[in-house]
Amino acid sequence: MSCWPVVPCWPGGAVLAGDVVLAGDVVLAGGAVLIGGAVQGGGAVLIGGAVQGGGAVLIGGAVQGGVAVLAGVAVLAGDVVLAGGAVLAGGAVLICGAVQGGDVVLAEGAAQGGNVAQGGNYARGPGRNADAERADRCQHGEMGSVLMTGDLHGNTGHALASVRAAVREDCDRLFVLGDFGAWEHTADGRHYFDVVDRSARRNRVVVYFLDGNHDKSSLVHRMYGAEPDDEGFLVCRERVRYAPRGLRWTWEGTRFAAFGGAYSVDKQWRLAQEALKRRKAVRRGQFGASRIPVTTETLWFPEEQMTDAECDELLLDDTPVDVLLTHDKPRDSAPAWNRKDLPECLPNQDRVQRIVTTLRPSLLLHGHLHYRYTDTLAHTDGHRTTVEGLGADPEASQLPDYRGADSWYALRLPYTSATPVTEVAC
Ligand SMILES: [Fe+2]
Ligand SMILES: [Fe+2]
């Protein structure tokens, strides 16, 4: 093993191979290449076309600039700074106080943890505000696309797979049709929002959701209700936004409305589980546990359904829309498989039916049933509404043959009733 503890400098086309260790105020310039089990420490600086491969590790005050590429199982820890056209690929990991700036790219499999700060043109290509990008595309007459997806239930793996599906389908928006996993009164719930936001930023996608019966929407309103964005969405994270019940907005000339809420068929089981968790927590408290976890409204949420009064008020504006997004199905749609047909489910389905009749959408997309189907509602005045029910994440799916694609629907904008359904690959 070679080791240089002083202040060496390799200008030009330096190549370091094998079990190289660089410590102290090392500077690698020009077309420097580190391969094998290279380790950098102290105030190491890589500039120009530096490439690190294999089991590269950067620690301490390492700085990378130019078109640096880290591949393989690279680990960056401490006060690492990546600037310029840095690329992290494969199993690259950034931890602790890493700072990324410039045109940094994290490719498939790269992970970030700790207090990573991102600045400059982060992610794929020049980093720009998503809304500004969309406005630009509209101005140039380009179509946009939204990947609609069914219930995620806080399943991080499926949420990230959905973001990737959005990218594959050239969608800059992902819209979750309820049961998103809005549980920010728990540590896991907050972490889930962070992970989804990070993936959305990395992939330059904005993730929107409406509330399902398994979302704590009252908390979303309390935390983020004060400052909605220009379209009325509540900004939960930079790229995670919530559509309150009754919200109307227009994307690429297509008029949308969102109405969340549904009845939980397993409400009694959920309340019993919460009570059990509460009893266990109290018992742990009696034995000296200092931290009592949140148990109330972790599995069942009193705000799960729209009320009639809420529905009446939201329909005071009866302006028609092109696309209606809901969590629950309308009463009259008839999927071939439906386990949410108890009498208690019907009042909310009646409300959704009323919304459809009033707003006369050409297309309605919903989740909740965890089942992919298409139906058509024919209204008495001759108007027709195509209903697309979407599947859920794999853990919530009760069907024997699961296909991720059943939970996704790529909506090309502007939407017209003649816009074809786009089959999304798994
Ligand atoms: Fe649901
Ligand atoms: Fe669900």
Encode pLDDT of 145-201 as tens digits. 999 999 999 999 999 999 999 999 999 999 999 999 999 999 999 999 999 999 999
Band of residue 296 on the pLDDT scale cut at 50, 70, 90: confident
Mean pLDDT (whole number) for 101-105:
36
Please name which of 132, 70, 65 lies closest in space to residue 103, comparing C-alpha atoms.
Answer: 65
Give the pLDDT score at 85.
37
347 contacts: CB under 8 Å, gap ≥ 6: 263, 305, 308
For residue 352, what are the CA distances in angstroms to 100, 154, 276, 330?
A: 46, 24, 34, 5
Give the pLDDT score at 11.
43
Ligand 2 center to 329 CA (angstroms): 12
Give 132 or 242, the one with higher predicted confidence.
242
The dihedrals phi and psi of 334, each to the nearest 5 degrees, come to -130, 80
For residue 110, what are the CA distances in angstroms to 74, 106, 168?
A: 9, 6, 18
Residue indicated by tokens 């309103």: 221
Give the pLDDT score at 381.
87
Band of residue 359 on the pLDDT scale cut at 50, 70, 90: very high
Give 416 or 371, the one with higher predicted confidence.
371
The domain segmentation of the chain, as residue ranges, is 1-127, 130-264+300-413
Distance CA 71, CA 181 (A): 34
Q: What percentage of the chain has pLDDT greater than the value 90?
A: 58
Please name which of 215, 190, 169, 251 lies closest in space to residue 368, comparing C-alpha atoms.
Answer: 215
Mean pLDDT (whole number) for 94-122:
35
Please confirm whether the linkage preceding 414 is cis (ω < 30° from 0). Answer: yes
Tell me the ligand closest to 396's alpha carbon.
2
Q: Which residues pair with 51 in a beta bridge?
A: 33, 69
- Which two structure tokens, joined as six digits, stand for 302? 């009193």
Largest CA distance in the chain: 85
Long-range contacts of the stretch 237-240 (C-beta < 8 A, 24+) = 237/193, 237/194, 237/196, 237/197, 237/200, 238/197, 238/200, 238/201, 239/130, 239/197, 239/200, 239/201, 239/205, 239/206, 239/207, 240/193, 240/196, 240/197, 240/200, 240/206, 240/207, 240/209
Tell me the ligand closest to 158's alpha carbon.
2
Give the pLDDT score at 80.
41
The dihedrals phi and psi of 261, each to the nearest 5 degrees, come to 100, 150
Band of residue 55 on the pLDDT scale cut at 50, 70, 90: very low
- Contact between residue 331 and residue 350 where contact means Cβ atoms under 8 Å apart: yes
SS3 (DSSP) at 347 = helix
Distance CA 53, CA 75 (A): 11
How many residues are recorded in the chain?
426
Ligand 1 center to 93 CA (angstroms): 36
Q: What percentage of the chain has pLDDT greater than the value 70?
A: 65
Give 415 or 91, the one with higher predicted confidence.
415
The CATH H-level superfamily of 130-264+300-413 is Metallo-dependent phosphatases (3.60.21.10)
Distance CA 105, CA 85 (A): 8
Ligand 2 center to 251 CA (angstroms): 26
Encode pLDDT of 129-157 as tens digits. 555 666 666 555 557 999 999 999 999 99
For every residue of 279-322, DSSP letters joined together read HHHHHHHHTT-S-PPP-TTSS--TT-S--HHHHHHHTT-----S
Report angle CA 225, 145, 363 to the nearest 5 degrees.
80
Ligand 2 center to 397 CA (angstroms): 9
364: left (phi over 0), alpha (psi -120 to 50) or beta: beta
Is the confidence at residue 51, as pLDDT, over 60?
no
For residue 357, what are the CA distances in angstroms to 302, 317, 346, 347?
A: 27, 13, 16, 15
Tell me the ligand closest to 152's alpha carbon.
2
Tell me the ligand closest to 155's alpha carbon.
2
Give the pLDDT score at 163.
98
pLDDT, mean over the chain? 77
Helix 156-168 with 187-202: angle, nearest 10 deg: 20
Intra-chain end-to-end CA distance of the chain, in Å: 47
Distance CA 283, CA 151 (A): 34
For every residue of 159-197, DSSP letters joined together read HHHHHHHHHHTT-SEEEE-S-----TTSHHHHHHHHHHH
- Which two structure tokens, joined as six digits, stand for 229? 């964005």
Is the confidence at residue 63, as pLDDT, over 70?
no
Residue 69: Cβ within 10 Å count: 21
Tell me the ligand closest to 262's alpha carbon.
1
Distance CA 377, CA 384 (A): 6
Encode pLDDT of 303-357 as tens digits. 999 999 999 999 999 999 999 999 999 999 999 999 999 999 999 999 999 999 9
Band of residue 283 on the pLDDT scale cut at 50, 70, 90: confident
Ligand 1 center to 190 CA (angstroms): 20
Encode pLDDT of 204-220 as tens digits. 999 999 999 999 999 99
Is the confidence at residue 110, as pLDDT, over 90?
no
Distance CA 333, CA 298 (A): 31
Ligand 2 center to 392 CA (angstroms): 7
Ligand 1 center to 417 CA (angstroms): 27
Residue indicated by tokens 């950034």: 94
* Rounded-to-5 percentages of helix, strand, coil across the chain: 20, 25, 55
Give the pLDDT score at 405.
95
